[in-house]
């Protein structure tokens, strides 16, 4: 069970956080304090997995000073920053300078706004601990050959690279939120924030931690989106004889999850057909979905457009080339995933 330390000097916000934690069945222990001195004592006395603090502290020290102190005292503690959400540029700069993993937008209106980022930080901490353990065991192993050792090193580099890539995806999404900020209501911004968070979690689960197996993806996606009893169908076909490279399949899984997810979120009924093909230097993912007689679950057009744009950014962040073919009764989204050196190295 992970230990989470939360420093919130504002009494009202601290009370709201305490109410959420006490009313939610969490899988971690926590200490909530309004005192900087107490927070530093806990860091010194205990093994803290996740630290949550505001980027704007009171007169005792600045947010930058606080997070730098936490990193110095407990470098393995994952840091999560809280902010009011009104300063996106400042928040991104703070995250880069202080190397924070997640952001929590205050005030937390629902439990997921607080709990989900904390749980993601704990999972990240456990992942990094496994990497560190593998590193230590490899260094101590006397029987490993040089070739095996180089393979392990390359694998570690790829894992670190994928985590950095997830941060870039988050930054891209935040930048897009800034561009749209003046045109969105509070309700749409809150919905969009939750959508961004879900996409990042999907990226971590399927690209970083996924298996990259086509059959497993097909089963998962069918369970996720195929419900003929409610006039909702999802069909997937693989038109390539060779096995799809695992790293490419991971990215396809992420793309299918977010594309299908936005259809499910926006529409009451959907009919989606997916075909995976292979050409010389790329895989082609063709997603066909019917548009005739669409019954939208989300009536607010501005909210629909914001969620669709966020999903498009998620697709672009993977580095794919896309083309949309609009037809009278349907749309076809063609996505090209190049077979690059990274994919080939994982074979």
Sequence-distant (≥ 6) Cβ neighbours of residue 248 within 8 angstroms: 212, 283, 337, 339, 343
Residue 165 C-beta-side C-alpha neighbours within 13 Å: 16
Sequence-distant (≥ 6) Cβ neighbours of residue 107 within 8 angstroms: 13, 16
pLDDT in tens, 67-120: 989 999 999 999 998 887 666 677 777 877 788 888 888 888 788 889 998 999
Average pLDDT for residues 235-239, to the nearest whole number? 95
Structural domains of the chain, ranges and CATH numbers in brackets: 2-140 (3.40.50.2300), 186-345 (3.30.565.10)
**Per-residue confidence at 197, pLDDT binned at 50, 70, 90?**
confident
The percentage of residues in the chain with a pLDDT greater than 70, rounded to a whole number, is 81
Question: What's the pLDDT score for residue 345?
Answer: 43
Question: What's the pLDDT score for residue 277?
Answer: 94
Q: What is the DSSP string of 265-324?
A: HHBSSEEEEEEEEE-SSEEEEEEEEE-TT--BS---HHHHHHHHHHHHHHHHHTT-EEEE
Report residue 55 as tokens: 């980027």
Report residue 261 as tokens: 């997810």
Question: What's the pLDDT score for residue 293?
Answer: 65
Measured between alpha carbons, how far is 185 from 231 in angstroms, rounded to an integer? 32
pTM tops 0.85, yes or no: no
3-state secondary structure (DSSP) of residue 54: strand
Average pLDDT for residues 263-272, to the nearest whole number? 91
Strands (E), 86-225: 102-105
Question: Cβ-count burial of 266 within 10 angstroms (0-12 exposed, 13-18 middle, 19+ buried)?
Answer: middle
């Amino acid at each position: 069970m992970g230990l989470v330390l939360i420093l919130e000097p504002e009494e009202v916000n601290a009370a709201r956080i305490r109410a959420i934690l006490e009313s939610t069945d969490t899988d971690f222990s926590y200490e909530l304090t309004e005192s900087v001195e107490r927070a530093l004592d806990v860091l010194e006395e205990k093994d803290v997995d996740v630290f949550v603090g505001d980027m704007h502290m009171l007169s005792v020290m600045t947010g930058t000073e606080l997070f730098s102190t936490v990193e110095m005292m407990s470098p393995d503690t994952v840091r999560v920053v809280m902010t009011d959400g009104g300063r996106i540029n400042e928040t991104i700069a703070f995250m880069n300078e202080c190397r924070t993993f997640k952001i929590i937008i205050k005030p937390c209106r629902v439990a997921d706004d607080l709990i989900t980022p904390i749980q993601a930080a704990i999972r990240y901490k456990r992942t990094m601990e496994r990497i560190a353990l593998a590193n230590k065991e490899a260094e101590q192993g006397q029987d490993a050959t040089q070739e095996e050792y180089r393979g392990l090193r390359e694998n570690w580099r790829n894992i670190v690279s994928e985590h950095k890539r997830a941060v870039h995806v988050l930054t891209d999404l935040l930048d897009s939120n800034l561009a749209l900020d003046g045109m969105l209501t509070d309700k749409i911004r809150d919905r969009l924030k939750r959508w961004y968070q879900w996409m990042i979690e999907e990226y971590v689960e399927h690209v970083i931690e996924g298996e990259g197996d086509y059959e497993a993806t097909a089963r998962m996606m069918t369970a996720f989106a195929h419900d003929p009893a409610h006039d909702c169908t999802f069909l997937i076909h693989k038109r390539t004889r060779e096995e799809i490279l695992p790293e490419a399949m991971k990215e396809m899984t992420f793309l299918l999850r977010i594309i299908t997810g936005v259809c499910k979120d926006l529409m009451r009924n959907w009919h989606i057909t997916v075909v995976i093909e292979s050409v010389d230097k790329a895989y082609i993912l063709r997603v066909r979905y019917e548009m005739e007689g669409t019954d939208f679950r989300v009536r607010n057009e501005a909210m629909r457009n914001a969620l669709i744009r966020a999903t498009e950014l998620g697709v672009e962040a993977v580095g794919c080339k896309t083309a949309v073919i609009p037809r009278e009764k349907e749309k076809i989204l063609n996505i090209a995933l190049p077979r690059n050196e990274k994919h080939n190295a994982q074979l």
